[in-house]
Copies of this chain bind each other. A is one copy, B any other.
Amino acid sequence: MRPIPALALTFSLVALPALAQDARQIERMIEGRHGLMTLMAYELGKLGGMAKEETPYDAEVAGDAASNLSALASVLSPELFPKGSAVGEAEDSEALPAIWEKPDDFAQKISDMEEAAAKMQAAAGTDLASLQGAMRDLGAGCGSCHETYRQKD
């Protein structure tokens, strides 16, 4: 084993645990936000199928899907996007650097989407026309954020 300079040893003992903690935290936040997005897409799929009249309208299924969607949306926040978790910086990330360049706009878009999801929660179980109306705002909310802040496939 090569002798390790005293300064490097100090650095590795003091700084590495913090760096490892940061890396673990970034990994957890990416896993968390992906889980939320995947489940939001799943619930949106149910609502979208009904909105497009590809599946029959079912008030109970629609209401449950919209409740889940709204709960998931309420958890989404800039906290899940820590610095160092952009595409190219962290594994599996599709988050564009614009998130950290325009934090207020990013937070506003999340907030708009949460509002659209809450409106969907009120509308989905009412009738098909209400669901279809709420779907337009919600779809626009998803799209406007992904357009600016998510890497295109």
- How many copies of this chain are found per oligomer? 2
Q: Is the CB of A32 within 8 A of B32?
A: no
Q: Binary interface profile of A, 12-37, with partner B (CB < 8 Å = 1, else 0)? A: 00000000000000001101111110
Q: How far is the CB of A47 from chain B (nearest CB, A)?
A: 15
Contact of A75 among B28, B41, B72, B80 (CB under 8 A): B72
B67 and A42 contacting across the interface, CB-CB below 8 Å:
no
Residues of A participating in the B interface, judged by any CB pair closer than 8 Å: 28-29, 31-36, 38-39, 41-42, 67-68, 71-72, 74-75, 80
Point out the residue from B29, B38, B67 that lies within 8 Å of A32, measured CB to CB.
B38
Is A67 touching B72 in the complex (CB atoms < 8 A)?
no
**With A67-B74, A68-B75, A75-B72 given, is the CB distance from A32 to B28 under 8 Å?**
no
